[in-house]
Amino acid sequence: MRRPDPPFAHRYGTWPALALGRVSIGGSKMAEPTKTATLSLDGKSYDLPVYSPTLGPDVVDIRKLYDQADVFTFDPGFTSTAACESAITFIDGDKGELLYRGYPIEDLANNCDFLEVCFLLINGDLPNATEKKDFENMVMHHTMVHEQMQFFLRGFRRDAHPMSVLTGLVGAMAAFYHDEIDYSEPHAREVAQIRLIAKMPTLVAMAYKYSVGQPFIYPDNSLSYTANFMRMMFATPCEEYKVNPVLVRALDRIFTLHADHEQNASTSTVRLCGSSGTNPFAAISAGIACLWGPAHGGANEACLQMLNEIQANGGVDKIHEFIAQVKDKNSSVRLMGFGHRVYKNFDPRAKLMRETCYEVLSELGLQDDPLFKLAMTLEKIALEDEYFVSRKLYPNVDFYSGIVQRALGIPTEMFTCIFALARTVGWIAQWEEMITDPEYKIGRPRQLYVGETTRKVPNISVRK
């Protein structure tokens, strides 16, 4: 018989209620339509309600279209499809604007720490001083993972990519934390959310320590969230670890800048996976798997590899040759860290990351680091080049975040794990919003079928 772990009762009694529901999150009723769009098809016309969002373009509601007109719509990359109603994050790509719950990313990055941003994303507004303290206390007292998780981790090969290990570890949390299993209960969801935010740094650091053959470092709950993560990553039992506040602030900012980004591929994956009613650990694990791809979270790793390659092939003197290759229509080489699907003016996260990059390199006395010099020269040349200017290609957050992470001592193959750690809060906020949405349904896209029409199975003796 399964014996449920009593993980928290002994320390805190019951879990104190978080401020979920302090402002209206999820659970909101869809606004009334503001206009009507008309679709004409085969001599008939159909009225479609149009909703006006608080920000962004109007949305045509096609939910009844199939019932009424017997047609589907076709939008494979979701380029014109709003898949859900959301009140969490807003991006205006033309203006270079990113808002979490209405607050500009610049304000948040300059005035709040990552745990305040986590509280904001989950609860809908920033914490006051008491809420901040309670939230920090709650998160920092759930940083430790079940001791048996390390034996599970030891089953992986040491040379496995840390993202494959992380996908497995987070999925396995469902096996280790099954005391709350009815996720229609708000309390169960709160517990899972705090567990994910609190334990993700521990799991990422464990995946790293395992890959380099060093002992795991247990969390130190007296430190801040980010300082504790850095200690778990870089301390060894042999020496005292000294926290450097400039570096902690830099990593904390990386977390803030990556915390959420609207309905991107991994977030949509978490929503789709979670829409079946599966447990949140499984849904977040699916998000991590999606994030791993080079077109998504893997881009900062690819950017640093590109810089290393240019450096190895001649450095600054070879930049013009490299840029010519990027501009050549017959080559598939891209300037990694440049361009964005949504931001066509500038990536607001890139501006902040650039600032942090200078701060960190100056703190570490690395301003003359050849790779940094190379990146800055490459940036200058590309920003003045007609090819990039005319296509509105600007540096994105990944152009600088790889350089910062490298300076902090984070190995390249861990970059996407850092991204996953930061994005976990966005994923769970979006998952919570979906579960509490009265319009919520299991995600089930339709298709434009182009296969065979109905045919009979021929006897095996006559098959070609």
Question: For ligand CMC, what does the binding mask look like between residues 40 and 79, x meaning CB under 6 A?
Answer: ----------------------------------------
> What is the nearest approach in angstroms of ligand CMC to the Cβ of residue 352?
14
Residue 350: exposure state from Cβ atoms within 10 A (0-12, 13-18, ≥19): buried
Q: Which of residues 74-113 bind ligand CMC (CB under 6 A)?
A: none
- Closest to ligand CMC by CB, 344 vs 373, is 344
Q: What is the DSSP track for 349-410? A: HHHHHHHHHHHHHHHTT-TT-HHHHHHHHHHHHHHH-HHHHHTT--B-HHHHHHHHHHHHT-
Listed as own residue / partner, the contacts of 58-61 with beta carbons closer than 8 Å and 24 or more positions apart are 58/34, 61/33
Among 393, 404, 418, 425, binds ligand CMC (CB under 6 A): 393
Closest CA to 28 of 440, 425, 441: 440
- Closest to ligand CMC by CB, 150 vs 305, is 305
At 338 the three-state DSSP class reads strand
Alpha-carbon gap, residue 131 to 126, rounded angstroms: 9
- Spatial neighbors of 52 by CB under 8 A, at least 6 apart, are 31, 34, 35, 58
Question: For ligand CMC, what does the binding mask look like between residues 315 and 354, x meaning CB under 6 A?
Answer: -----------x-------xxxxxxxx-------------
- Closest to ligand CMC by CB, 180 vs 398, is 398
From 261, 340, 347, 437, active-site residue = 340
Identify which range of 115-123, 125-133, 393-401, 436-444 contacts ligand CMC by CB under 6 A.
393-401
Buried-state track 73-91, b at ≥16 Cβ within 10 A, e below 16: eeeeeeeeebebbbbbbbb
Closest CA to 178 of 166, 188, 168: 188
- Spatial neighbors of 305 by CB under 8 A, at least 6 apart, are 336, 412
Which is it for the CA torsion 168, 173, 176, 182, positive or negative? negative
Identify which range of 78-86, 135-143, 388-396, 423-431 contacts ligand CMC by CB under 6 A.
388-396
340 a catalytic residue: yes
**Cβ-closest position to ligand CMC:** 339
Told to check if 296 binds ligand CMC by CB under 6 A, we report yes
Work out the angle between the directed axes of helices 397-408 and 299-312 (0-180°, nearest 10). 70
Told to check if 266 binds ligand CMC by CB under 6 A, we report no
Asked if 256 and 108 count as a contact pair (C-beta separation under 8 A), the reply is yes
Alpha-carbon gap, residue 118 to 226, rounded angstroms: 13
- Closest to ligand CMC by CB, 238 vs 295, is 295
70 a catalytic residue: no
- Closest to ligand CMC by CB, 219 vs 287, is 287
Question: For ligand CMC, what does the binding mask look like between residues 208 and 247, x meaning CB under 6 A?
Answer: ----------------------------------------
What angle (nearest 5°) sits at the alpha carbon of residue 40, between those of residues 34 and 46?
50
> What is the nearest approach in angstroms of ligand CMC to the Cβ of residue 393?
5
- Spatial neighbors of 201 by CB under 8 A, at least 6 apart, are 143, 219, 225, 228, 229, 232, 421
- Closest to ligand CMC by CB, 40 vs 332, is 332
Among 193, 396, 401, 436, binds ligand CMC (CB under 6 A): 396
- Closest to ligand CMC by CB, 122 vs 336, is 336
Told to check if 437 binds ligand CMC by CB under 6 A, we report no
From 113, 252, 347, 398, active-site residue = 398
Among 35, 95, 380, 391, binds ligand CMC (CB under 6 A): 391
Residues in the interface with ligand CMC (CB under 6 A) total 17
Among 98, 299, 352, 378, binds ligand CMC (CB under 6 A): 299
Contact residues toward ligand CMC (CB under 6 A) are 261, 296, 299, 326, 334-341, 391, 393, 396-398
Annotated catalytic residues are 340, 398
